Structures are given as structure tokens and as C-alpha cells.
Structure 1
Amino acid sequence: MLNLVLFGPPGAGKGTQSAKLIEKYQLVHISTGDLFRMHISNDTELGKRVKQILADGMLVPDSITIDMLEEEVKKNPDAKGFIFDGFPRTVAQAEALDVYLEKNGQTINGVVQLEVNEDEIKTRIAERQKVSGRADDDADKLLKRIDEYFSKTVHVLPYYEAQGKVSKVNGIGNIEEIFSNICTAIDAL
């Protein structure tokens, strides 16, 4: 089983690259952002709680995120592996994911960090917002999400670096070239 964490700031290309990785490696994609949006659009109890948290540009509490993620993994018992996109965002989440996977005889095999500078992120999200209309891409919320990433989420990397699991990939350039570099990092696992 191949379990990957795709790591990078908002707009780094995680969704674009995940789609390509799913096809090549036949993995199940679990995006916490997509799960949150699904719960919000279905107006579930979880969706109502998450909607306000996201509207404030904050991270959803670990307990909610972890429970939701475990539920998604359980829905795919025959998966060849998973791509975790947008998760973990805190060291506590990374530790909880390790414990959960370990209980099921699995592990995170690798973490691919897409490196993209802040100016490029802002340009990409501005373009994405024109097409997607995603509420979480508006300017004020974007700044909060970028700040959350660089002030909190980026601190998860040392946790995985200490385990020798992080591969850094330049996330700027041609989509196919970036994909090829990610595959090279994955194949080395």
C-alpha cells in the first residue's frame, strides 16, 4: 500500500497533481477541503460547524478533521493507497494519522512538498477564483489561509523530515514537468 501526503500552501497545485497521481498510481484521493465543502453543500451538522470556521479563515479543529478523515479511509477498504491532500495541517494531526494507520498495519510512505513562493500562490488563486468561484479563495480569506500555512502548517514538515519521508519538488513551471518530478520522488520510495 502506498500512502502519500501532498504538502504545500494553498494554490501550490496539490489538486492538479493529485488528479494525475490518482490515475498513475490508482490511489484514493482524500482532500479535507473537498470533504469540508461536501459537508457544507449538503448542510450536514458537521458542514454547519465547518462553514463558520472556514468563513473566519481558520483551520478546522483537529478532532473534527481526524474523525472525518478516518471515516473516509474506512469507506475504501480495498484501496491500493491514499493521497492525503490538505492533511495533516498540524503535528497533532500527523501524529494521529500515524497512530491510525499503524493500527491498520500501514504507514505514510512519503511526503511530497510542492515548493511555491507566495507571489505565485496569489496569482494562481486569483486565476482559480475566476474559474471556480470558491468562496475560500477571496482575497481576505486567502491571506488568512496563506498566513495559517506559513505560521502553523509548515511546522508539520520537520515531523516528517525527522522520519526521512520528505521529498521537495519545485511546484513552479510546466504541470507535466512538475508531475514527472513528483513521480521520480514517489518511485524512489
Structure 2
Amino acid sequence: MRIVLVGPPGAGKGTQAAFLAKNLSIPHISTGDLFRANISQGTDLGKKAKSFMDAGDLVPDEVTIGMAEDRLDQADAADGFLLDGFPRNEFQARALDAYLASHGIALDGVLDLEVPEDEVVKRIAGRRVCRNDSAHVFHVDYTPPAVEGVCDTCGGELYQRSDDTPDKVRNRLEVYHRETEPIIDYYKQQNLVVTISALGAVAEVTQRAMAALHRGE
């Protein structure tokens, strides 16, 4: 299957992408991984991206599209893929369509993870990260540490990232509504969108997603 995963910040796209990719036996291709790989490998696109990022600027669409196309050209993506974070706007969506058409293939579906805005703010603003290891993540409501402010795993200090405050989260949501949400309407015109609720346990959302993706088969 060839799938695009969309949804607002805090919808759990990364978590669901990993489970869905495993269940469907397709590679999970995330924008973050594309940037990290290209920058660490010193590719031409990676150097271009880093120059914009170091200057505090957004990476141009053309650079992101180039990275995505290079990744889709790799052998493991020949029979399917799950894109997470790309395309992020209609320009990128049209570029992806053109790339796929040039290879005689098309998307099978666009999975839209739906979460109420208040829940997004609660999920992200309640997140606490260990200063010693950013992989140790807790939540003040959903997964609180045994001792407030202390990492259960290593005893490090837990803190709230500067971009996880409620105001910053709402700003990110505004950017999502303005830039990324329009691709849902774009794909709806192609009858590709399936929308599911991303509320509930991770396994429940994964089951919901798998059922939605296989509904038309």
C-alpha cells in the first residue's frame, strides 16, 4: 500500500506510522528522518537544507520534495510506503502526484487522524521530557512519573520544552490549519481520504486505522 498520513500536531502520527508500517510491511518515511539522513550523510540536498535551518529559515519545498523523491526511489519503497509529514502543503502534494504518475503508480489512501484541538493542547502541553535522555518522555495526566519532576528511568530532571507551552501549541495548530489541512480537501477530490478518531489507546487507534485502510478492498 502507498499511504499518506496526516493530522495535527499531537495526533500521534509518529506512533501510529510505526505500527501501521510494521503491520503493512512497508517503510515508514518521515520528514524528520529524511532531513536527519541527508544532513548526516552530507548530501547536496542535506547541505542545502542545513544552510536554511542554520539561518533559522524554512527549508524550501523543492529541497524537501527532492529528499522525498530520492527516498521513494529506494528499493524498499517499490511496493509501498507510508509517508509521515510529507506532503505538508498542496504544492508538495501536487509534486508527489506528479512523481507517482511518472512512475505509473498512485496513492492507495490518505489517512487523516482527527483529534479535538483541546485534546491536542492537553497532550502536548502536558508532556515532560528528561534532561538526561530525550527518549524518556512522561505526561502529567496520562503517564506521570512516580515522583513529580523526576524521571522514573534515570532520575533526571523532567522539564517542559519551550515549544510545548499551550500558546506555542495553538500557534502550531494555526500553521497546520493554514498550510497542511488544505491537502485533505485536495485528496478528498481524489476520493482518497479516510478519517478516523485518534482518541483512545494506541492499539485501538491502530486497529481503527487498519480497518479504515482496508475498507475498500
TM-score of the two chains, using structure 2 as the length reference: 0.74
Change (3 A) 1:108 1:78: closer
Equivalences for residues 124-143 of structure 1 within 5 A: 124-128=123-127, 130=129, 132=134, 137-139=163-165, 142-143=169-170
2:175 partner letter: E
Q: State the alpha-carbon separation in 1 of the partners of residues 52 and 37 from structure 2.
A: 11
1:187 partner letter: H
Percent of pairs with identical residues: 42
Aligned to 1:170: 197
Structure 1 residue runs of 4 or more that deviate by more than 6 Å after TM superposition: 133-136
Structure 1 window deviating more from structure 2 (113-122 vs 149-158): it is: 113-122
Q: Counting helix residues as a fraction of each chain, which structure ranks higher? A: 1
The answer on whether the counterparts of 2:127 and 2:164 sit within 8 Å (CA) in structure 1 is no
Q: Are 2:213 and 1:186 aligned?
A: yes
Change (3 A) 1:40 1:145: farther
Aligned to 1:63: 62
Aligned to 1:110: 109
Aligned to 1:98: 97
Structure 1 window deviating more from structure 2 (111-120 vs 130-139): it is: 130-139
Deviation at 1:16, TM superposition (A): 0.6
Corresponding residue SS for 2:129? helix
Corresponding residue SS for 1:130? strand
Aligned to 2:180: 153
Q: State the alpha-carbon separation in 2 of the partners of residues 159 and 83 from structure 1.
A: 18
Deviation at 1:119, TM superposition (A): 2.4
Q: State the alpha-carbon separation in 2 of the partners of residues 175 and 102 from structure 1.
A: 34
Q: State the alpha-carbon separation in 1 of the partners of residues 162 and 78 from structure 2.
A: 30
Segments of structure 1 that go 5 or more residues without pairing to the other structure are none
Q: State the alpha-carbon separation in 1 of the partners of residues 65 and 81 from structure 2.
A: 15
2:189 partner letter: A
Aligned to 1:4: 3
Q: Are 2:20 and 1:21 aligned?
A: yes
Change (3 A) 1:50 1:114: farther
2:180 partner letter: T
Deviation at 1:78, TM superposition (A): 5.7
2:64 partner letter: T
* RMSD (CA atoms): 2.7
1:48 corresponds, among 22, 44, 50, to: 50
How many pairs does the alignment contain?
A: 185
The answer on whether the counterparts of 1:39 and 1:46 sit within 8 Å (CA) in structure 2 is no
Q: State the alpha-carbon separation in 2 of the partners of residues 117 and 28 from structure 1.
A: 29
Q: State the alpha-carbon separation in 2 of the partners of residues 128 and 108 from structure 1.
A: 34
The answer on whether the counterparts of 2:65 and 2:92 sit within 8 Å (CA) in structure 1 is yes
Deviation at 1:173, TM superposition (A): 1.0
The answer on whether the counterparts of 1:40 and 1:51 sit within 8 Å (CA) in structure 2 is no
Q: State the alpha-carbon separation in 1 of the partners of residues 162 and 11 from structure 2.
A: 15
